[in-house]
Amino acid sequence: MKDIATHINKDVEELNGTECSAQRKRHLTSELNDLLLWQEGHPNDSHDPSPLEMFCDQNPSEPECLIYED
């Protein structure tokens, strides 16, 4: 996606569509929640975050999110 607003709008449109399965709706709802949390925590950042960026933003102490400095 070009930016986070585009990604949020795409997810909302797909959620409101009639061709969305229950499993897809759960996925989109979770993703939309994560995107909105990211946007709230980073109001001046418009890039579309990766799933890992959103995960690490919410779980900074997880092993895959730790940064080690030598």
Place of tokens 């940064």: 67
pLDDT tops 80 at residue 1: no
Domain membership of residue 14 (yes or no) is yes
Task: Establish if 8 belongs to a structural domain.
Answer: yes
Domain assignment present for residue 49? The answer is yes
Instruction: Indicate the number of domains in the chain.
Output: 1
Q: Does residue 9 lie within any of the structural domains?
A: yes
Average the pLDDT over 5-11 and give the result: 94
Q: In the 8-state DSSP scheme, what is residue 61?
A: T
In a domain, 70, yes or no: no
pTM over cut 0.75: yes
3-state helix/strand/coil string of 7-60:
HHHHHHHHHHCCCCCHHHHHHHHHHHHHHHHHHHHCCCCCCCCCHHHHHHHHCC
Rounded Cα gap, residues 24 and 54, in angstroms: 19
User: pLDDT for 26-62, tens place per residue?
Assistant: 999 999 999 999 999 999 999 999 999 999 999 999 9
Does residue 20 belong to any structural domain of this protein? Answer: yes
Kindly state whether residue 27 falls inside one of the protein's structural domains.
yes
The boundaries of the domain holding residue 46 are 4-65
